[in-house]
Structure 1
Amino acid sequence: MGVLYDYFRAADDETVAASMAATNGGPLVGAAAPPEADVVEAKGVDPSVVLGQAVSLALDVPWDVNLVDDRLVWPDAGAAAAGHDGPWVVRLGDRARDVLAALAEDRLPALADRWSRIEELSWGEPAGMLPVLRRLVGLARRAQASGQHLYCWMSL
């Protein structure tokens, strides 16, 4: 079983903490999800490396582990340091959200094809990444339009 990654949008870190409390740590997909949750399931697409490479391809810049600028927002740093073994939520930098939101539809097929060829996605089918990219771009657009941020819930 791989690591699960669910991307979602929220107004702020406090809203995320409240959602995590309401769902006992998530996930935000399924029967326990708040009805207002806007979530994209993206198994195997971690924020720093895999999504970061999509952002680097979109910008046509070399990938860097800090490109997405994600930071832990739940649980708090004390719980994480005390050996909390998941799940976790990170907030993505707004630049990553804005890069994804700005992608034109006609760029998505070629970008998804290039993205599918990165080493970390070698397990998948190239055609399978286009729907994932479209869902992530849509989520980023909705987050940007509503003044919200992108977050990633992850669990082992």
Structure 2
Amino acid sequence: MGVLYDYFRSSDDEAVAELMARIDGGPLVREGGSPVEDAVDGKGIDPPVVLGQVVSFALDVPWDADLTGERLIWPAAAGQDLEYEGPWVVVLSERARDALAQIPDDRLPDLADRWSRIEELSHYSDTQPELMLSRLREFVGLARRARTNGDSIYCWICL
């Protein structure tokens, strides 16, 4: 099945902990239903590598594994247990949020095309540029709403 990723926005780490308690650890995007929060189904898009590459394209900088600046925020014990299989939540840096939020609409098709061709997505069948454009619009929209509301972007992860 692979790793699951749901990206969402929230006001702060405490609100995320409360959300996780309320929904019994997730997920945020449920098949056949509405997302629990303002969320995007990540479908194989991990924060440091796959999302990090589109952030690098947006910033016009070389990709680096630390570019999205994710930091574990829930549960605290997950960082101490090497066998922990999730779920857990990381928060992305403001730099990553703002890089996505500031992508002009007219750049989206080019960035989606570049993103569709990264090696890490080569084994997926649904990464044609037009599909990746739709996905990128979802991420950019989430980032714009997060920035407008003073929220951070979080990623729920589960093996």
Normalised TM-score (structure 1)? 0.93
Q: Distance in 2 between matches of 1:142 and 1:86?
A: 27
Q: Give 1:29 shift.
A: 1.7
Q: Specify the alignment match of 2:137 in structure 1.
A: 134
Q: Over residues 61-114 of structure 1, what are the superposed CA-to-partner deviations in whole Å (9 max), with x where a residue is unaligned? A: 1000000000101110x3432332101110000010001000111100000000
Q: Distance in 2 between matches of 1:33 and 1:105?
A: 25
Q: Distance in 1 between matches of 2:61 and 2:153?
A: 21
Q: Specify the alignment match of 2:80 in structure 1.
A: 81
Is the 2:48–2:70 contact (alpha carbons within 8 Å) kept by the matching residues of 1? yes
Q: Which moved more, 1:116-125 or 1:130-139?
A: 116-125
User: Equivalent pairs: percent with the same residue?
Assistant: 60
1:32-51 superposed matches below 5 A? 34=36, 37-51=37-51
Q: Sort the Cα spacing of 1:33 and 1:42 in 2 relative to 1 into closer, same or farther, 3 A.
A: closer
Task: Extract unaligned runs of 5+ from structure 2.
Answer: none
1:1-156 superposed matches below 5 A? 1-30=1-30, 34=36, 37-76=37-76, 78-82=77-81, 83-122=83-122, 123=124, 124-156=127-159
Q: Distance in 1 between matches of 2:143 and 2:80?
A: 30
State the number of aligned residues.
153
Is the 1:9–1:39 contact (alpha carbons within 8 Å) kept by the matching residues of 2? yes
Q: Distance in 2 between matches of 1:73 and 1:89?
A: 6
Task: Extract unaligned runs of 5+ from structure 1.
Answer: none
Q: Give 1:59 shift.
A: 1.0
